[in-house]
Amino acid sequence: MRVNRRAFLRTGAGSAALLLSHPAWCVTKDDAQLTDSDIIAQAGPRIERYRKGDGVVSVRDARGKAVPGTKVTVEQLRHDFLFGSNFFMFGRCGSAEREEQYRQRFVALLNYCTLPFYWASFEQQQGKPNYEYIDGVAAWTREHGITCKGHPLVWDHPASSPAWLTDDPKANERLSLARVRAIVSRYRGRIDIWDVVNESTHLANKLHKTKMAAWAGALGAVPYVTESLDAARAANPEATLLVNDYRIDPPYYHILERLRRHGKFLFDVVGIQSHMHDGVWPLHKVWSVCDTYAKLGRPLHFTESTIVSGPRKGPGENWGATTPDGEARQAELTASFYTALFAHPAVQAITWWDFTDLGAWQGAAAGWLRADMSPKPVYDRLLGLVKGQWWTKTEATTDAHGKVKLRAFYGTYRLTAQSPAGQPVVKEVHWQKDAKNHFQLTA
């Protein structure tokens, strides 16, 4: 599904000026003092306010006359809010049965996925990028209504610093920028959301000793990120571009603040990682992070979120397998985390890391599915929220004016009315933020 950048920003939050002027995006003294219990208690009213809008469905006959007493069904098909996960195990689950379960359970719950573009594995031989795999995944997701994001285009980590890079930083700069332009251009219309630069905050600490890091560190974080954003924007002006980081402290904020030209930000969305392998953030911390980064006037995506259901084996060791107690805890904490984020108006997307324990990062029991693809309690808990509590499906009867008035979650809908002849009349519509949402069916 193609995401138009201007429409994406408009439906999600609007321009920087609009965001900063909107009271929902201001950090108040009361918000700063919210406890975890306050956040959960206030989540319902906030979700009602920020994630839903009023609308009217009218039924008229061929002459334009109102048709009262007609049953109308309003059925949500998709959220505007992006609920996602990385989709790295697509085609790699080891058996046809596990593969089918992986795909079916993904599409039953989520509408958004992250696809891998780690340079070292994506282009193991110079000039031979693995487009075939991504093409296949992108085709499947498009068929199933899942929006794709590419991750990451530029990163100084060994995973994105191919061995065949040169010892000349300027040559590597040219190669990296050419890769950004080629990939973003190739997938325009299929993948229009990008984590352009990943984890630029650690350049000053020289965390990685790669050829990418040598170029990026010498250039400096802000010019390094700026060049990459410019290359991506030139390749697809309508794309939604993210800067992504695991740091949530001032160094990241300061980099983002400086990514401007003529007073306008070069990026569209702030990417925030929230891997919580060794300790789950209290909700007041989650809320504080949202409030802090919302002050930039750009929407927020929680790009990599993890809460595990298995213990760590020991200091510095990998993780143990999922346990019943760990799964119960994971379900409860994840539901609270998602509820807090869905209640905050700055947040537009949440991506889980990983969807299944099979092949999960660090070998952790991070998934909503076990390694055999059976669902953990967290899967059912989130399904009950995303496709239950936060989902609109209702029936009503038109009033004397042939109208049904209701409030619905923002997203795509199927409207159905019965004609006087008994034939169903069906129309697909988009229930949008900051729109009138008046729809007419001709019965």
Q: What is the DSSP string of 322-382?
A: P-HHHHHHHHHHHHHHHHHHHHSTTEEEEEES-SBSTT-GGG----SB-TTSPBPHHHHHH
Q: Which residues of 101-115 are buried (b: 16+ CB within 10 A; e: fewer)?
A: bbbebbbebbbbbbb
Per-domain residue ranges of the chain? 5-31+81-389, 53-75+392-442
pLDDT at 321: 93
Q: Which amino acid is at 274?
A: S
Output the six-digit token pair for 40. 């959960």
Which backbone phi and psi does 314 adopt, to 5 degrees? 175, 170
Closest listed residue to residue 266, CA positions, set 241, 235, 301, 293: 241
User: Is residue 206 packed enough to be buried (19+ CB in 10 Å), middle (13-18) or exposed (0-12)?
Assistant: exposed
How far, in whole angstroms, is CA 257 from its chain's centroid?
22
The CA distance from 147 to 158, in Å, is 28
Output the six-digit token pair for 441. 């069916």
DSSP code for 287? H
Q: Which residues contact 164 (CB under 8 A, 6 or more apart)?
A: 125, 126
Q: Among the residues of 149-274, which ranges form H helices?
A: 169-186, 211-219, 221-235, 250-257
pTM: 0.91
Strands ordered across the beta sheet of 403-409: 403-409, 52-60, 438-442
Closest listed residue to residue 141, CA positions, set 216, 200, 85, 199: 85
Q: Contact, 149 vs 187, CB < 8 A?
A: no
Maximum distance among all Cα pairs of the chain, rounded to whole angstroms: 76
The CA distance from 291 to 43, in Å, is 15
Which backbone phi and psi does 363 adopt, to 5 degrees? 70, 15
SS3 401: coil
pLDDT at 317: 74
Check: CATH 3.20.20.80 for 5-31+81-389? yes
How many other C-beta atoms are found inside a 10 Å radius of the C-beta of residue 171?
13
Output the six-digit token pair for 221. 């974080």
Q: Contact, 192 vs 236, CB < 8 A?
A: yes
Q: Contact, 408 vs 97, CB < 8 A?
A: no
Q: Per DSSP, what are the bridge partners of residue 60?
A: 66, 442
The CA distance from 328 to 323, in Å, is 9
Closest listed residue to residue 330, CA positions, set 356, 357, 304, 308: 308
Domain 53-75+392-442's class? mainly beta
The CA distance from 3 to 194, in Å, is 11
pLDDT at 181: 98
Q: Which residues contact 41 (CB under 8 A, 6 or more apart)?
A: none
Output the six-digit token pair for 131. 């487009």
Q: Could you list the pLDDT tens digit for every one of the 443 residues in the chain? A: 444 444 444 343 332 332 333 333 334 445 558 899 999 999 999 999 999 999 999 999 999 999 999 999 999 999 999 999 999 999 999 999 999 999 999 999 999 999 999 999 999 999 999 999 999 999 999 999 999 999 999 999 999 999 999 999 999 999 999 999 999 999 999 999 999 999 999 887 777 889 999 999 999 999 999 999 999 999 999 999 999 999 999 999 999 999 999 999 999 999 999 999 989 999 999 999 999 999 999 999 999 999 999 998 877 778 899 999 999 999 999 999 999 999 999 999 999 999 999 999 999 999 999 999 999 999 999 999 999 999 999 999 999 999 999 999 999 999 999 877 778 999 999 999 999 999 999 98
The CA distance from 247 to 205, in Å, is 13
Q: At what angle do helices 36-50 and 283-294 cross, to 10 degrees?
A: 50
Length of the chain in terms of residues written: 443
Q: Do domains 5-31+81-389 and 53-75+392-442 have the same CATH topology?
A: no
Q: At what angle do helices 250-257 and 221-235 cross, to 10 degrees?
A: 50
Q: Contact, 334 vs 378, CB < 8 A?
A: yes
